[in-house]
């Protein structure tokens, strides 16, 4: 993408007359090195210098992506300059400007506080006593070098303001490439609700499985539903599976869904699954509500069109064979601190025992 952007930028009148090809190539190499260092050194490093490198590198990656998209649109329209060849260089200049504007919008959007997304869900089998139960769900926080204490503290306050009966963490709580700092663990432990705080593992919790990122959540008082269930009340069961993509990549053929639901008591069942896969199968097992995440809603347009080819349930509310599926587009961000077009979100799901 760097090479493509430089190749097309060199034909733009503004650069063609004022900036030499050597300068463009030199600038491109410097920017690529920033990306490389941010990805290789910053992502696995610690301290302020590593955080700055990662921030610059990851955000530049997104900028290059958006510049490539806008330039490619112009090249498709002009058949790479074979038609409209007189104005094609000017159009490429407009494409570069558009890409930069989109990048600025995405940067602002990525730093916005996540919104509260409200849902009402009819849950068959739910008792009258549990009618109106409020679940607040957080997903894909990716707390680490780029998202730290102040951000997490604000999210805890946001959750507390919702007065939830149940709090669930849908995976990718920590970035996964380093041991979570004790201050972040302490902040997470401030979450509380009458029916408890429960978690499932996301793919980032499996990065360096011997690194105690995920187990520290459990040992610090937040139980993890490792392919298991818990009865929260005589009419409400909460089940959870380990990340399905991690299971798939490992080459195992374990039926995690069957393990998670095996032997559960009758009543309404809510299943937590970081990855929104196997919805039809889960609906067939009598689950009334499935809460998922992982996709980030594509995070940066138009990347979502590619993401949806792997994860058809990209974000929002779906009904699959009578079961409600809600896919959170992420509370935080992964990689670039950028979002285009929609901000992060926290789910607030009110359970109903009859149609509302």
* Interval 243-257: pLDDT, tens: 998 877 766 656 899
Confidence grade of residue 345 (pLDDT, cut at 50, 70, 90): very high
349's tokens? 């799901």
Cα three-residue angle 141-1-70, rounded to 5 degrees: 85
Q: CB-based contacts of 125: which residues, under 8 Å, 6+ apart?
A: 235, 266, 267, 268, 269, 288
341's tokens? 């077009």
Say if residue 286 is in the same domain as residue 210: yes
The secondary structure of 122-184 as a DSSP string is E-TT--GGGTT-EEEEE----BSSSS-HHHHHHHHHHHHHT--SEEEE-S--B-SSSPPPHHH
Say if residue 158 is in the same domain as residue 252: yes
pTM for the full model?
A: 0.91
Decide which of 111, 145, 174 is a domain's last residue: 111
Say if residue 259 is in the same domain as residue 156: yes
Decide which of 49, 82, 111 is a domain's last residue: 111
Decide which of 89, 111, 133 is a domain's last residue: 111
In angstroms, the CA 324 to CA 236 distance is 15
Q: What is the pLDDT of residue 27?
A: 87
Say if residue 140 is in the same domain as residue 51: no
Confidence grade of residue 217 (pLDDT, cut at 50, 70, 90): low
Say if residue 99 is in the same domain as residue 129: no
C-alpha distance from residue 256 to each of 159, 208, 243, 295, 356 (Å):
29, 21, 9, 20, 33
Say if residue 147 is in the same domain as residue 44: no
Confidence grade of residue 219 (pLDDT, cut at 50, 70, 90): low
Say if residue 206 is in the same domain as residue 269: yes
Confidence grade of residue 212 (pLDDT, cut at 50, 70, 90): very low
Q: Which of 207, 291, 299, 285 is nearest to 241 (CA)?
A: 291
- Which residue range(s) make up the domain with 127? 115-352
Digit-coded pLDDT (tens) for 115-133: 999 999 999 999 999 999 9
């Amino acid at each position: 993408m760097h090479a493509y952007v430089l190749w097309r930028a060199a034909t733009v009148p503004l650069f063609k007359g004022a900036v030499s090809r050597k300068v463009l190539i030199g600038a491109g190499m410097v920017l690529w090195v920033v990306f490389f260092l941010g990805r290789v050194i910053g992502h696995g490093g610690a301290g302020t210098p590593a955080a700055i490198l990662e921030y610059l590198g990851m955000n530049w990656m997104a900028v290059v992506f958006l510049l490539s998209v806008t330039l490619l649109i112009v090249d498709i329209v002009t058949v790479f300059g074979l038609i409209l060849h007189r104005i094609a260089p000017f159009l490429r200049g407009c494409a570069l400007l558009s890409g930069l504007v989109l990048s600025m919008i995405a940067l602002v959007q990525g730093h916005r506080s996540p919104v509260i997304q409200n849902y009402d869900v009819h849950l068959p089998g739910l008792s009258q006593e549990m009618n109106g139960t409020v679940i607040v769900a957080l997903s894909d926080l990716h707390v680490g070098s780029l998202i730290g204490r102040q951000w997490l503290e604000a999210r805890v306050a946001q959750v507390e303001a919702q007065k939830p009966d149940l709090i669930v963490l849908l995976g990718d709580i920590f970035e996964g490439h380093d041991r979570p700092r004790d201050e972040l663990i302490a902040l997470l432990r401030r979450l509380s609700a009458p029916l408890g705080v429960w978690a499932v593992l996301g793919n980032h919790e499996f990065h360096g499985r011997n690194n105690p990122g995920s187990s520290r959540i459990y040992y610090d008082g937040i139980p993890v539903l490792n392919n298991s269930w818990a009865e929260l009340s005589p009419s409400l069961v909460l089940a959870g599976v380990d990340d399905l993509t991690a299971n798939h990549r490992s080459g195992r053929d374990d039926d995690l869904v069957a393990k998670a639901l095996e032997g559960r008591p009758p009543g309404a069942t809510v299943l937590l699954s970081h990855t929104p896969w196997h919805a039809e199968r889960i609906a067939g097992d009598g689950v009334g509500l499935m809460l998922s995440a992982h996709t980030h809603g594509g995070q940066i347009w138009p990347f979502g069109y590619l993401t949806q080819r792997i994860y058809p349930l990209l974000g929002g509310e779906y009904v699959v064979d009578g079961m409600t599926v809600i896919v959170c587009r992420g509370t935080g961000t992964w990689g670039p601190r950028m979002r285009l077009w929609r901000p992060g979100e926290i789910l607030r799901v009110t359970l109903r025992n009859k149609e509302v």
